[in-house]
Amino acid sequence: MTHPLIALIDIGKTHAKVSVIDPQSGAEIRGSRRANAVVQGSALRELDVDAISQWLLDALRDAPHRDRIRTLVPVAHGAAAVMIDHDNCVVAAPDYEDACFERVNAEYRHQRDAYQSTYSPDLPLGLNLGRQLFFLQEAQPRLFSRVAHALLYPQFWAWRLSGVMASEVTSLGCHSDLWLPREQTFSKLAQARGWNKLFPASKLASDVLGPISAEVAAATGLDPQCQVTCGIHDSNASYLKFLITRSRDEPFTVISSGTWTVVMANRADLSRLREDRDMLASVDAFGSPVATARFMGGREYEAIAGTEARPNLPALLNVIERQSMALPAFASGGPFAGREGRLVNADSLSGSERASVATLYLALMCELLIEMLGADGTVLIDGPLATNPLFGAILGALLPSRSVELSSGDGGNTRAACYLAGFLEAPSQAMTPAAAVTLTSLPAYREAWRKRVLG
């Protein structure tokens, strides 16, 4: 084999991963993974970009067949930007979970654009990127005065690899308060505060920024002509790999999972979006708004399950019979943000039973979000939830008239990476119909759960 390979660089909130991909077969040759952390800076809590950078260089240096890697594709989580000074040094890499951002809530809410313009809900902590910028500008003016560039998180990694700065619309449109998705321009807030001038010129996610820098070539041993694409927001990468295999007029629903569980509904009506339910208009790789709702499903699953045990059908039947339930919310964000999560009838549950309660909770939440969005068509599950042995089956039972399909693998966004790297004929994402299970008591359980949640 001498054909070129791709390296997908996926920087999530909880983990980072480098995957070497064969674009001819769509196979992942090898993946390198690390757990992410945050560090306390002088003014606020920050993403540990220096540690990730060193790990990334090491992972690329140790990658198999590194001499054949021709393209690097960055993917990263949303609500994040790294501030760079005139000397190309990092000024700040704010962590959106730092509570310091709420100190400016009152003044910030007075100045942000109306929800009907941005379709960006007012979120807690720093989950609106605009609130992070506002905090730095108002509460840390000396620090903010050093900022020459604001790089959205996928494009920060593209810059670290290539030395070329760019912006990209999927991160700009990710509940940032910075973007007007219908007009495809910066919000009034971003323009009034001068933030729009900090963001480099916008590129398509698939645009090639250039070859890797000489420093990266020396540190990794990659071919100096290895190209770096602009990159994309992670949930939008999940959405893109389904969008490129379907007509844009075809209704379908994507559930992208990880730290966040994000429901994206192609062709759904934006008028159904509700700010108080953390619903938003995402922006896809081609600039079009997408009706979206989400919650922090990965974090909530961990909090509810509290175990590495896997759910199984006997355990699931037991918890349904016992009416053991998880009621939102166990993490920030989502349609029930501000509520305190609690377990009902959950004493003395085994590990697999707690995992089953957590899986039931995620399925019920996703069904509710699908209903709220008015999402239609096939439901496509991507990421870790596609490998959960019961999630797809439960969701299929909750949506008996809908086709529910599971993507293979762990949501490494292989198909999207191939597309963004220019391999337009790469193998399609393999999908498997969710298993059918008989859960005769599930409708009554669902009704009881909804009564507690919705009143």
Quick count: other Cβ atoms within 10 Å of Cβ 66? 17
**249 — pLDDT class (breaks 50, 70, 90):** confident
pLDDT in tens, 131-166: 999 999 999 999 999 999 999 999 999 999 999 999
Cβ contact 236:284 at 8 Å: yes
Residue 69, CA atoms < 13 Å, CB-side half-sphere: 31
Sign of the dihedral defined by the CA atoms of residues 96, 185, 294, 333, in that order:
positive
C-alpha–C-alpha distance, residues 19 and 31, integer Å:
4
**424 — pLDDT class (breaks 50, 70, 90):** confident
Cβ contact 364:344 at 8 Å: no
pLDDT in tens, 259-303: 999 999 999 999 999 999 999 999 999 999 999 999 999 999 999
pLDDT in tens, 31-68: 899 999 999 998 999 999 999 999 999 999 999 999 99
C-alpha–C-alpha distance, residues 403 and 208, integer Å:
37
In SS3 terms, 329-367 reads as CCCCCCCCCCCCCEEECCCCCCHHHHHHHHHHHHHHHHH
C-alpha–C-alpha distance, residues 329 and 341, integer Å:
4
In this predicted structure, what is the pLDDT of residue 426? 57
Cβ contact 264:235 at 8 Å: yes
User: Which phi and psi (to 5°) does residue 311 adopt?
Assistant: -70, 155
In this predicted structure, what is the pLDDT of residue 149? 98
Hey, what's the torsion of the CAs at 200, 206, 210, 216, to 10 degrees? Answer: 90
pLDDT in tens, 77-112: 999 999 999 999 999 999 999 999 999 999 999 999
In SS3 terms, the chain reads as CCCCEEEEEEECCCEEEEEEEECCCCEEEEEEEEECCEEECCCCEEECHHHHHHHHHHHHHCCCCHHHEEEEEEEECCCCEEEECCCCCEEECECCCCHHHHHHHHHHHHHCCCHHHHCCCCCCCCCCHHHHHHHHHHHCHHHHCCCCEEEEHHHHHHHHHHCCCCECHHHHCCCCCCEECCCCEECHHHHHCCHHHHCCCECCCCCEEEECCHHHHHHHCCCCCCEEECCEEHHHHHHHHHHCCCCCCCCEEEEECCCCEEEEEECCCHHHCCHHHCEEEEECCCCCEEEEEEECHHHHHHHHHCCCCCCCHHHHHHHHHHCCEEECCCCCCCCCCCCCCEEECCCCCCHHHHHHHHHHHHHHHHHHHHHHHCCCCEEEEECHHHCCCCHHHHHHHHCCCCCEEEECCCCCCHHHHHHHCCCCCCCCCCEEECCCCCCCCHHHHHHHHHHHHHC
Cβ contact 73:229 at 8 Å: yes
Quick count: other Cβ atoms within 10 Å of Cβ 6? 26
pLDDT in tens, 166-223: 999 999 999 999 999 999 999 999 999 999 999 999 999 999 999 999 999 999 999 9
C-alpha–C-alpha distance, residues 200 and 149, integer Å:
7
Cβ contact 312:389 at 8 Å: yes
Domains of the chain: 5-230 (3.30.420.40), 235-454 (3.30.420.40)
